[in-house]
Structure 1
């Protein structure tokens, strides 16, 4: 079985249509169909079947796609292993959320500039769902993503995720508010993230545990804007405990359950041996 045909099967599993695969790898739809037909003959099994106007993987196709992820990763690892002692050099494309860029990536950038000037970081700010899409398209080499302990992420089998750090989050409220726990703000409007649903999932989970359904009214991406909205009396929301609250904002610790944001370094499976990426992953893990 040729790896390029296995790659097409993996992409079909991910994208769900021949046309999308063709657009992704810059070939014609008929070529995708022909190559998958050859792969089916090589495998001795039916790999795809009609599903309305589209196609889907058969159970055999799904199993082979899972094997293909491992095979392609092993091939990539073998290629990288041919020159394990190479001095790290090259441009490393990173997609990450703002807090991780500030906390983890900027110190790494300073270390690289001083000790490994041939490695250059290209940094793009993105929420996790955007970073995962960029990884899948091979548009970035590394993603810094997050989830919450109460809203855990499910990682694709084609990815490798390394936990980096955790940070407690609390409930940000006006400093003069008399209530001191989550349930005390059941009647308030709530502010959640505009680009991700993770913190909304956490708010709804904690609220359900203490007996109410939160009234989600406002959505904002910037943590500074969330604080400004709280000061304006527009609602309450989640913020990191170490955010450095503005005068007039109080961040209440949460316990029962505790809320923790968890940061990960995520790569495509089999890519972490590339010297620039291996170096940055090592620096992130020890930072």
Structure 2
């Protein structure tokens, strides 16, 4: 049984003729007759009978038409509910972010949404539910099954995100810079090459993350291995270790700004790395159906504004 077939059966009971049903539903009489015949094939009791030149419902047809009316009413309520859900600007939006994105964007996002709420009298703004997910680059798309919006990063040379599995909203194109203690000898240079840094002791991320990809490129360009002392994914910890002057590291130019002056430690400075590609793309990933919700779109737009302010 199909909904449109039940609707035609119901209308036949109400209107009394195939022609009237066709006019009401803006279809041809033959289309009505065809759909009623298909409905009849799934039922072993006659649903209609001829009465003069008209087709009318049998008692069984009237019973099914009444039950069908209930189904149609339930579906109408379901469509209205999903419509209200999709168009509700105050709906909850779940967001996951990798660590540096969360540190840089989550608090400004909450403040931006608060300002939106105050501007419209406290109504009409989404509520965000934030989580951090530190995963390897290829694992970000799968998070879109659990979150409405996923803040993800990948290096320029990495495979693109799998569309149409996820839709991609670009946020930033961010370089990874060499992080040095402010009093490190290399900090006197405006920019650094792989040859300048390859022989330094390093703190970098675990394999599968952006800093380790860049460090591998440094070794390849310099044609010799690097010495990795520490493998740390958290950028605040990386910055604290770099500030000791014992190691150097790689930090993203925009999203690590909150990590560059560890409490009670000398400042950490960033220097661009020349000769290799160090840029990563920061994107919002979302399932296509998530972006049909007004609240999700509003939050995605707010994230884009926050990132634009951060990159300046």
State if a TM-score over 0.5 links the two structures: yes
CA root-mean-square deviation? 3.1
Please state if 1:209 is matched with 2:231: no
Residue pairs, 1:17-36, within 5 angstroms: none
Match of 2:172 among 143, 165, 172: 165
Distance 1:164 1:199 in 2: 19
8 Å Cα contact 2:177-2:251 kept in structure 1: yes
The 8 Å contact of residues 203 and 248 in structure 2, kept in 1 or not, is answered as yes
Q: Higher strand fraction: Structure 1 or Structure 2?
A: 1
Cα distance in 1 for partners of 2:84, 2:208 equals: 40
Partner of 2:202: 190
1:146 maps to which of 150, 153, 158:
153
**C-alpha contact (below 8 Å) 2:198/2:222 kept by paired residues:** no
Computing the radius of gyration from Cα coordinates, the structure with the larger value is: 2
Deviation per residue, 1:148-182 (Å, 9 max, x gap)? 23x43532231111111123321123433358533
- Choose which of 263, 266, 281 in structure 1 pairs with 2:282: 263
Question: Of 107, 119, 134, which aligns to 1:127?
Answer: 134
Q: Equivalent residue of 1:89, what SS?
A: coil
| Aligned 8 A contact 2:219 2:226 in 1 | yes
Report the equivalent of 2:113. 112
- How many residues are matched? 207
Q: Distance in 2 between matches of 1:163 and 1:93?
A: 18
- Cα distance change, pair 254–88 in 1 and its aligned pair in 2 (3 A): same
Kindly indicate whether the alpha-carbon contact (under 8 Å) linking 2:206 and 2:212 is maintained by their aligned counterparts in 1: no
Q: Compared with structure 1, are the counterparts of its residues 172 and 112 closer, same or farther at alpha carbon in structure 2 (3 Å cutoff)?
A: closer
Conserved 8 A contact 2:126-2:299? no
Deviation at 1:96, TM superposition (A): 0.4
CA–CA distance in 2 between the matches of 1:165 and 1:197? 17
Q: Which residue, out of 268, 273, 277, partners 2:292?
A: 273
Query: Unpaired segments of 5 or more residues in structure 2?
Result: 1-78, 118-122, 307-312
> 2:81 & 2:231 partners in 1: Cα distance?
44
- Residues 81 and 273, structure 1, Cα contact 8 Å, conserved in 2: no
Unaligned runs of 5+ in 1: 1-77
Q: CA deviation at 1:123?
A: 0.2
Q: TM-score, normalised by structure 1?
A: 0.61
TM-score (structure 2 length as normaliser): 0.57
